[in-house]
Amino acid sequence: MKKVLILYISTTGNTEQIAHLLNEALSDNDFDITTMSFDFTNLDALDLLQYDGILFGTHTYNDGDLPFETDVFLDTLLTLDLNNKIVGIFGSGDTSYSYFCEAVEIMKDEFALRNAIVLEHTVRVNLYPDLDQDLLSIHKLASLFQEALLE
Ligand SMILES: Cc1cc2nc3c(=O)[nH]c(=O)nc-3n(C[C@H](O)[C@H](O)[C@H](O)COP(=O)(O)O)c2cc1C
């Protein structure tokens, strides 16, 4: 059974809701899914090595930055080789900021540099994911992720 990690950071619940919808969209598959949030877990990036696929979610903070809570995780991530891991990135931001959902783009690059197979499609939602276009984008990521894992 393929092991999947849905790992996210969310302060006001918007990215958390995307994580929840991705989990729901994948639940028909025979995947062993673990969901973790940076708020409650002291996750070591080394733990990523146990999973076949990772869905990583983050909101964007000041001027297109990642939230500071991910700092230690990112330091370890730099040391990993994630060859053959399937990775999808998602997040919430706010279109009123100049660098909308920039943290999603940063993480896409970080995972690609670690040799992961990063899906080109990302989910970038303005605040809470309740528009049709948000749900379509979330389902598209889930379906591409599932296809890549089962290939
Ligand atoms: C101080 C601050 C800075 C922010 N900077 C950005 C930003 O640069 N780009 C962006 O897209 N959103 C930015 N946001 C908006 C958050 O990413 C947005 O509210 C998001 O929905 C929060 O997600 P969460 O509910 O998962 O925490 C910022 C929010 C705050 C409070």
Contact 57, 19 (CB under 8 A): yes
Which residue has its alpha carbon closest to ligand 1 atom 29? 61
Looking at every residue in the chain, the average pLDDT score rounds to: 95
Rounded mean pLDDT of 133-146? 98
CA distance 42 to 40: 7
Binding-site residues, ligand 1, Cβ < 6 A: 10-16, 59-64, 92-94, 97, 99-102, 127
CATH of the domain at 78: 3.40.50.360
Give the domain extent around 29: 3-150
Rounded mean pLDDT of 118-133? 98
Q: Which atom of ligand 1 is nearest to the CA of 58?
A: 26
CA of 94 to the centre of ligand 1 (A): 6
Which residue has its alpha carbon closest to ligand 1 atom 1? 62
CA distances from 122 to 89, 108, 113 (A): 5, 8, 17
Which among 91, 78, 90 has a CA at the least distance from the CA of 118? 90
**Please, which residues have CB within 8 angstroms of residue 81's CB and are 6 or more apart in sequence?**
114, 115
Specify the number of domains making up the chain: 1
pLDDT of 22: 98
Tens of pLDDT, residue by residue over 52-97, are 999 999 999 998 999 998 988 899 899 999 999 999 999 999 999 9
Per cent of the chain over pLDDT 70 is 97
CA of 41 to the centre of ligand 1 (A): 21
Q: What is the DSSP letter of 85?
A: -
CA of 93 to the centre of ligand 1 (A): 5
Which residue has its alpha carbon closest to ligand 1 atom 18? 93
Tens of pLDDT, residue by residue over 24-62, are 999 988 899 999 998 756 678 888 999 999 999 999 999
CA of 97 to the centre of ligand 1 (A): 8
Confidence of residue 101 (pLDDT cuts 50, 70, 90): very high
